[in-house]
Amino acid sequence: METVSNALFGFLLILLSTGAEANPTGQGQKVIIIGTGVDGAAFPLAYEACFSTDNFFWNPTCPDGTTEQVGPGAGAPYDLTVNGLHDTRVAAIVDEMAPDADLMAFQVYSRHKSNGLIVPFHADTIRALDHALLLAQQGEPIAAVVLAQGGSTIYTDSAICAQNAPGIEDLGNALKAEGVQLVVSAGNTLSDSGLVLPAICNGNIAISALVWGIPYGSHGPQSELFADGVTFYGGQRYEGSSYASPRVAATIALQKESDPNRTPDENLAAMIALGTPFPVPTYGTKPELTHGPDPDSDGALALFDNCTAHPNPMQDDADEDGIGNRCDCDFNQDGFCGGLDFTVFVGCYGLSAVGPNCSENQLAVTDMDGNGIVDSADYSTFMSLYNGPPGPSGRIQ
């Protein structure tokens, strides 16, 4: 994650807008934010829900006064105080980085009847995750679920989750099986040895914060990434791991738009591989999320570029394997560019339409520069890649 605040993300978005088809904007993807609720007047919400508790001590905070509400207005903040607008600030980060992704807000807080204390109960968070899983199983294109909340006690072993956060690991893994990544804030309690609940649990990816280039809060070796923990909203500065996790969730939405078939593990591997190693003296390094640079100057930032070694601004990928045509002469998908691939190329050479030895698919992959004909330029490209693996691609690690 970039450590120079939202200014750098503004620059990144300029690149996103100039890369034509090269860089994604989150189109067709959805991100769920679970927590305080999101102000729908600030950001359009594609879906809203609320899960709250009603008993002798606690009142529900769902707008209609019930313990479960689904529909327009249900995901509104429990109030419009600085704390109540916490997830509205989280939503602002997702909206900035993935402006075409749809936001979904689930509110999970309850209010104490005597002292007015507002808290999220674990059981209501589990209900919200259950609902997210149901939506994913029904085919909603959810890229990530953001849980930008957590406790204050540091744990070093995920074994605590079965007792203190039952169900969250199973739901995280079930969401992952549906292609949805649960992204959790690592916590704001300072520690370089552990994380808070539920970040310490398996089934999610935990995100630690950097604030002006310094580790902030929980950043033990159990978290997967550092990300920028500073944001500005309404003229005020805010910081913490709550503002690191939505940056990763937004990045996943961008990755999913680039390649909807990529698994959560593959998307995480790409972020880790392209991340900048940030030193942590007690255990080595942790990767810091970055989308760039653009090593081949084609307008596609490295994390989304399907051919990072050669310019290909249109990002053509005829066989849809995550490796752009410009970097891919492995026409038979055996992991190597060799003699069988050369036979395919020769069968299509000189053609702009299918021929006796060149099918439609073969024509598409052998036109490596996308100019409509398999010609000498494609031959030069093919020979430069011959006798090696396809790639490199920022989308495949």
Of 245, 69, 39, 234, nearest to 150 by C-alpha is 245
For helices 5-18 and 86-97, angle between their N-to-C axes, nearest 10 degrees:
30
For the record, the structure tokens of 377 come out as 């330029």
Strands (E), the chain: 30-35, 45-51, 58-60, 68-70, 102-107, 109-112, 118-120, 142-147, 181-185, 205-211, 214-216, 225-228, 230-233, 236-239, 276-280, 284-288
Residue 81, judged by CB atoms within 10 A of its CB (0-12, 13-18, 19+), counts as exposed
Q: With H, G, I as helix, E, B as strand and everything else as coil, classify residue 91.
A: helix
Domain with CATH 3.40.50.200 in the chain: 5-288
Residue-level pLDDT at 286: 96
For the record, the structure tokens of 96 come out as 């900035």
CA dihedral 169, 175, 176, 182 (to 10 degrees): -70
CATH architecture of 5-288: 3-Layer(aba) Sandwich (3.40)
Placement of tokens 């994380």 in the chain: 195
Residue-level pLDDT at 18: 36
Q: Is there a contact between 325 and 378 (Cβ–Cβ < 8 Å)?
A: no
Rounded-to-integer distance, Cα 264 and Cα 173, Å: 10
Q: With H, G, I as helix, E, B as strand and everything else as coil, classify residue 66.
A: coil
Rounded-to-integer distance, Cα 158 and Cα 164, Å: 10
pLDDT along the chain (397 residues), means of 10: 37 37 85 97 96 97 98 96 94 95 98 96 97 98 95 95 95 97 97 97 96 94 96 92 96 92 93 92 94 80 87 89 93 95 97 96 95 96 95 82
Q: With H, G, I as helix, E, B as strand and everything else as coil, classify residue 218.
A: strand
Rounded-to-integer distance, Cα 190 and Cα 19, Å: 39
> Which of left, alpha, beta for 111 (phi over 0: left; psi -120 to 50: alpha)?
beta
